[in-house]
Structures are given as structure tokens and as C-alpha cells.
Amino acid sequence: MKRARVIGDGNLAWTLSAGLAQEGFQMGGDAGAVLALVVVLDHGRLIPMSLVEGGIAAWRERFDLTLAAARRDIEAARASLAGEGAIAVLVPVEGMTGAAGLTAYLAAVEGVRALVKSLGQAWAADGVRINCIALEAHVLHNDPNALRRVAIPLAAQLLSAGHPLSGTTLVAGGGVMAP
Amino acid sequence: MSAPAGGSLAGRVVLVTGAGQGLGRGIALACAERGAAVAVTALSEAEAAVVAGEISGEGGRALAIGCDVTDQDQVSAAVAATLDAFGRLDGLVHNANSRFSGVGATLATVTDEAWDDQIAVGLHGAVFCATAALPGLRDSGGAMVIMSSLAGLNGAAQMPAYAMVKGAQRGLMKSLAREWGPLGVRVNAVAPSGVTPALEAYMERTPGAREHLTSRSALNRLGEARGDIGAAVAFLLGPDSRFITGQTLVVDGGAVTT
């Protein structure tokens, strides 16, 4: 039996958890695979704001908190693995392209992707793989149908035992090509 | 060397953080060599003064400023002093690094102090620089360069916090390039591999390190802080790169190919 666990909460986590169950994963408990949710800001807080307009207070709220939550979730995912396993981290694809007004949030996202690359190397010897799945932010937040259609099959593949990838980002954003 | 009147940065003013030694010193010297007046900022004002003295000794114009980039007031004051001294600001290079940058630690062992300090210097410092410099850069149609790292592109198994900061700097750069493009201000990053005093010390104490690092380069040598890294940064600040923004320029002799 394939076991998996979703780190995170809210509708997004529920949708992912239900989707992975449909893909044949037994959800919950000590996991052989973990889906870590790194999308910590709700859509309402992603109102574009220029770096200068927001100042350091907005930067700290968006960058520092996003990164801290991502680190917490990734560490929780790693701790919940029973021996070897895999972690998939969902990130908005906009981090790869940049977007005006979302500087702090997307800087944190790109920091998370570099962290995942590092951990992919560092944890390989322990049999732990970690990758990112990059989706358009509106899909992550507002489009559960697209999430089921695109993200869940990809996550199911990445979280399956024996999958070779680690430290990479699979881009599943409509029309966005990996740079 | 004397600053050429017709150099690619002639008449321009550049502020470099972390310019008291290593790559920052090389960048400051390279910009001055091409005609820029340079605000040399460093945590140690004495170190900044030495580099500023080198520039003056070569016929260039320089201003030494002690500046802790984690202090927004100090960064604002450094930019203001630059504008007071030279009347304009055309380029800002955020090169300052945390003292923890070269310290190996896994995600499980990295201390909160090291994690926070690397964010404070690398990211918060960049934000303070960007915020303070924007009016001057907008007036001049200038450019900002953020010194990232190959670790930000490739990750670093033994330095995940460092890689995270360097990756985040690239993310900051990309979004800022889109944000500031309509204002006529360009933003780019450089991922360098160049010899610094810290790298020299590492190679001295680590058998085989110099050969290993050299062999990674397609050009079979290590980069020079001034002639290789500094020159590339000067290019990104100058007129010949006027249509380049939102990019990470890898300056490592071909160790990484894109």
C-alpha cells in the first residue's frame, strides 16, 4: 500500500488529499511519501504591492513568513517520513518568471526552490527525494478542477517509490516554459 | 591605471556594498577603471577607505562609507551621501554577504542566528538598497545588480541556507526587473565564481581544492575578482546592456552552462 500525507490545511490540502486517495494512496499516519504545501498565503493576501510601496513591513510579512512556513512544512514532511520516501512541494510558477507587485512572495518561492535543490542533493544518501511542482497561482488557489487534472497526477508520480527525480522542479503551468 | 574619460561608465556613479574586500573590491575597482565615480561601502569604514584610496591612487573618484546593510537607516544614509558627493546615482551593486555565508550546515544543524543573518544581509539588505536607490536610479535610467551565486542556481547540499538566500535573491531580481522595467530601471543578478581572500584561504588549507575548482571551469582557471567578475558587473551597469534585465549572468568560466 502506498502511503502519503499532505502537510498543510484548508481546501487546497483537502483537494490534494482526496485526489491522492483516488490515485491509490492511503492517506495519513506515518507516510512513505509526503506532499508538502508551501503555498502559505491565501489568495486575498496576494494583492500586488510594489516593493517600495510596501516597504520592509510588507516584505517581512510576505517574505519572512512565507519562507519560515515553508521551512517548517518541509522539516515536518521530512520528519514524518518512515525511512526512505519522497516529498513534493507545490509552488507557484510565477516565481520562475517574476511578477511585478509580488516581489517578496516570489523571492521566498525562489528561495524555497533553491532549498529544495540543496535538500535533493543532501538527502539522496538517505533515500529521500524532494521535488517541486510549479503551478500557476490561480490554479493553486482557485481552480480545484485544474488542480485535480494536473497537479495530483504529477504528485502521484513524484511520490511513487522508485521515481528517479530529485531536486528538480516540474513545471505544470499553462504556457509557462521552464527557463 | 587612470580612469578613462571615455570609459563605458564615464560620468556615472555606482554604489557597491560589501566592497571592502574580495569580489566587492574587484567590482568597485572595475567600475572605477571604466570611469565611474564609486561609493565604496563596507561594514568596516577603514576597509572601505583602503579600497577608495586604491581608486583615487589610480586616478578615479571614490567615496568610502561605513555601512551595515541590515540597518535601513545606514543604507539610506549611504545612498544620500553618494548623491551629495557625486550628484547622481546610476548603479547599485548589492554584494554584501553574511559572515555565515561560507559556513557549512545542514537544514537540521543550521543555527537560527546563521539562518536569520544570511536573510538579513542578503535579502533585507537588498530590499533596503533597492528602496533607497530607486529615486536616483529612476532619475538616471540606471541599473541594479544583485550578486547571487551558483548555489542559487544549483543548490548546495552542505549550505542549504546559503543556497536558499541566493535563490531568493534571484527571485527578488526577476520580480523587481518586471516592477522597475516600466520605470526605465534594469535589475540583473550575477552568479560568480571568482577568487576571494576567503576562497584563497580555503584552497590553501584544503589539499586538492584549487585543482578541483579549476578543473570545473571550461576555461581551466579561476575567475579574477576585478578582471572577470568586476568587468561583467560593469557591463551590466553600462550602456551596452541597456536591453538586458531580469537575467542571471553566470560568470564562472563555463563551469555551469545555460
Tens-digit pLDDT profile for residues B54-67 = 999 999 999 999 99
Per-residue pLDDT, B4: 58
Q: Measured in whole angstroms, how far is the alpha carbon of residue B153 from the centre of its chain?
A: 16
- Whether B150 is in a domain gets the answer yes
Question: Does A65 have pLDDT greater than 80?
Answer: yes
In a domain, B210, yes or no: no
pLDDT band at A29, cuts 50/70/90? confident
- Whether residue B215 is contained in a domain is answered as no
Give per-residue burial for A11-49: e unless 16+ CB within 10 Å, then b.
Answer: ebeebbbebbeebebebeeebbbbbbbbbbbeeeebeeb
Q: Which of B111, B121, B164, B247 to mutate to test the interface with A (most CBs of A within 10 A)?
A: B164
CA distance A115 to A109: 10
Report residue B75's pLDDT band, with 50, 70 and 90 as the boundaries: very high
Partner residue opposite A113 with nearest CB, options B108, B167, B179: B167
Task: Find chain B residues with C-beta within 8 A of A52's C-beta.
Answer: 130-131, 134
- Going by pLDDT thresholds of 50, 70 and 90, the confidence category of residue B2 is low
For residue B165, tell me if it sits in a domain: yes
The Cβ-side half-sphere exposure at B39, using a 13 Å CA radius, reads 30
Please indicate whether, in this complex, the C-beta atoms of B131 and A114 are within 8 angstroms of each other. no
Rounded to whole angstroms, how far apart are CA atoms A139 and A48? 17
> What domain range is B146 assigned to?
13-196+225-249
Using CA of residue A143, residue A81, residue B114, residue B202, what is the dihedral sign? negative
- How far is B150 from chain A, CA to nearest CA, in Å? 10
Looking at the structure of chain B, the number of domains it has is: 1
Q: Is residue B138 part of a domain?
A: yes
Decide if pLDDT at A38 tops 70.
no
- The pLDDT value given to residue B175: 96
How far does A110 lie from chain B, in Å, by closest CA? 5
Residue A31's pLDDT is what? Answer: 67
Complete domains list, chain A, with CATH: 2-12+22-171 (3.40.50.720)
What is the pLDDT averaged over residues B76-83? 98
Give the rounded percent of residues in chain A with a pLDDT score beyond 70: 90
Asked if residues B211 and B182 have their Cβ atoms less than 8 Å apart, the reply is no
> B127 and A51: CB-CB below 8 Å?
yes
Residue B216 belongs to a domain: no
What ipTM does the predicted assembly reach? 0.94
**Probe site for chain B from A74, A91, A110 (most B CB atoms < 10 A):** A110
Report the pLDDT averaged over residues A6-22: 88
**CATH code assigned at B162:** 3.40.50.720
Question: What pLDDT score was predicted for residue A173?
Answer: 74
Q: Do A106 and B171 touch (CB under 8 A)?
A: yes
Catalytic center residues of B? 162
Residue B212 counted as domain residue: no
Quick check: is B188 in a domain? yes
Best residue of A103, A112, A121, A129 to probe chain B, by most B CBs closer than 10 Å? A103
Share of chain B above pLDDT 70, in %: 98
- Spell out which residues of chain A touch residue B175, defining contact as CB-CB under 8 Å: 98-103, 106-107
